[in-house]
Amino acid sequence: MVKKNFHSELFSFAFFPRYEASIAELADNLAAKEDWDFSDKVTKTNSILKNYIEFTFRKLQQEKKVIFTADNKFACFNTGLVTENLEDIFAFFEEYKSPKQGFTTSFCFRGFVKKSDNILLRHFSHSIPDIANFFDKPELLIFNPKCDLIPDLDHIIGDNLSRFPTHLQSADDAELRRQLVGAIDEARKKVRSNYKIAIPQYYDSKIQLLLPLCLTSGSSNPDLALVVHKLNDATYTARTCLTLKMAYNNARLIVKLQSDWLKP
């Protein structure tokens, strides 16, 4: 499978003169405390936060919630993050008057600001941007235990073998299938007894659910996250699985996670 080059919609929208420093300031001093790096990360990069800001911006663009002043000299959007005192945090931009060679963006990032910040109120007090909306169909956020769950085993294995634990990547097809069937059956039983085990994620403009797949014998820790989506009122299907890092990034777009099995 050919890996697609990542294209940042955020960087196409605006020039960020101090991107790393701005993200660090947001993580360390402005937003409510949260783990923005995965636990195996040696050097702090705030990779989860960067992913969150990028894809929140994309969702807001789709919803036309990136707001501009009448003269188009300023812009801002609601990050969906809050301070320790639960005050909304916004990304604020101003017109890019003297762009450097090679930059074609119209705006320059000025900073992350609280709702009470004078610069935000001066330009947007009558048009405060709203947060992204992931809840048009709240029923999709909770697993319905009355529905069937029908996995496409061939597709899950064929397209995602490199995501499986190393000791299973070299297993024969029959063994791998047995392990996967057992793990899915276990996940199905768990979520039927505790609906909170199914964690909603946002990906490809859709709400899906994540279930833990425990594939390593003797371990209670999940190896992968099974991606489940609803086909109709009676059926869920699953056609792919994600690494836990991929799953966490997608799930964090919706809400700060408080999960027993999916953690940074």
70: burial class by Cβ within 10 Å (0-12, 13-18, 19+)?
Answer: exposed
Q: What percent of the chain has pLDDT over 70?
A: 96
> What's the pLDDT at 205?
87
DSSP strands (E only) in 101-250: 107-114, 148-151, 199-203, 206-213, 224-232, 235-242
Statement: residue 103 has pLDDT above 60: yes
Overall average pLDDT of the 118-139 stretch: 93
Statement: residue 26 has pLDDT above 80: yes
Statement: residue 54 has pLDDT above 70: yes
Q: Which residues of 98-137 are buried (b: 16+ CB within 10 A; e: fewer)?
A: eeeeeeeebbbbbbbbebeeeebeebbeeeebebbebeee
> What's the pLDDT at 74?
97
Overall average pLDDT of the 6-18 stretch: 90
Tens digits of per-residue pLDDT, 212-233? 999 988 788 999 999 999 999 9
Residue ranges per structural domain of the chain: 9-124, 138-252
Statement: residue 72 has pLDDT above 60: yes
> What's the pLDDT at 136?
83
Single-letter code of the amino acid located at 82: V
Contacts of 222 (CB under 8 A, 6+ apart): 212, 213, 214, 244, 261, 262
Tell me the pTM: 0.91
Sheet strand arrangement including 206-213: 148-151, 235-242, 224-232, 206-213, 199-203
Tens digits of per-residue pLDDT, 142-174? 999 999 999 999 999 999 999 999 989 988 889
> What's the pLDDT at 47?
97
Reported as a pLDDT band with limits 50, 70 and 90, residue 6 is low
Q: Which residues pair with 175 in a beta bridge?
A: none
Statement: residue 2 has pLDDT above 50: no
> What's the pLDDT at 3?
43
